[in-house]
Chain A
Amino acid sequence: DTEVTQTPKHLVMGMTNKKSLKCEQHMGHRAMYWYKQKAKKPPELMFVYSYEKLSINESVPSRFSPECPNSSLLNLHLHALQPEDSALYLCASSPEREGLFPPETQYFGPGTRLLVL
């Protein structure tokens, strides 16, 4: 299995809703990432997990809450979002070798297109 899956593909939510995005990979990768991408812009890094521990938080607002329950799963919990949070949310994973090499190739999922009303 050489892919990263994301669910749902599309999500519409109100500003008072709570929802979660899910990402899954079975490639044995130990680094997993969340990116946010606005239209016609590059992906922007939000969070990185390494060996199920949060390694990077790019000053993301607390209304986004990541969770890595195990080495194959990555969630992004959403609460009280704003319309400007509407974007494509991309998950990625990479075969990180702890402390030895920089992580190289990232494998991306197809993304969740989020619309906040």
Chain B
Amino acid sequence: SQQGEEDPQALSIQEGENATMNCSYKTSINNLQWYRQNSGRGLVHLILIRSNEREKHSGRLRVTLDTSKKSSSLLITASRAADTASYFCAPNTGGFKTIFGAGTRLFVKA
């Protein structure tokens, strides 16, 4: 099974600053996804990047993928208090099984 490992485990920043979270994994993947979870709620899909892509943007989100280093990063620009949440990466090697990383807990101070 494939599990992402995220870094840092927790991150506290001021509103307006950028937040960067990193994810490393161990084997070849088909795609890697990032999800957000507000406290005690369901997960929300943020962005999917395929193994043949290097960078992807969605609004204030930028995801990069380096398959040679088996790593991905999620950048949130101009953060807002509403971005306070846990962020999980989910590398997918094919099939149904998604193993979520431990997550990064982001706290954005207003």
Contacts and interface: CB of A to CB of B under 8 A. Distances in A.
Contacts of A59: none
Contacts of A42: 88, 100-103
A97 to B, nearest CB: 12
A31 B41 CA distance: 21
Contacts, number: 60
B40 A113 contact: yes
A102 B42 contact: no
Interface in A81-117: 88, 90, 92, 96, 102-111, 113
Interface string B3-38: 000000000000000000000000000110101000
A104 to B, nearest CB: 6
Interface string B77-110: 0000000000010001111111111110100000
A88 B40 contact: yes
B61 interface: no
Interface in A7-41: 31, 33, 40-41
Interface stretch (B43-51, B52-60, B66-74): B43-51
A45 B42 contact: no
What size tier do the contact residues of chain B reach? 20 to 34
B96 A90 contact: no
A20 B45 CA distance: 26
Nearest to B31: A104
Contact of A45 (B35, B48, B97): B97
A37 to B, nearest CB: 9
Contacts of B33: 104-105
A36 to B, nearest CB: 12
Contact of B43 (A45, A50, A55, A108): A108
B88 A109 contact: no
A88 B86 CA distance: 15
A55 B98 CA distance: 13
21 contacts: A4-B42, A31-B96, A41-B102, A42-B101, A43-B43, A43-B100, A45-B97, A48-B96, A88-B40, A92-B43, A96-B96, A102-B94, A102-B96, A103-B95, A103-B96, A104-B33, A104-B48, A106-B43, A107-B45, A108-B42, A108-B45
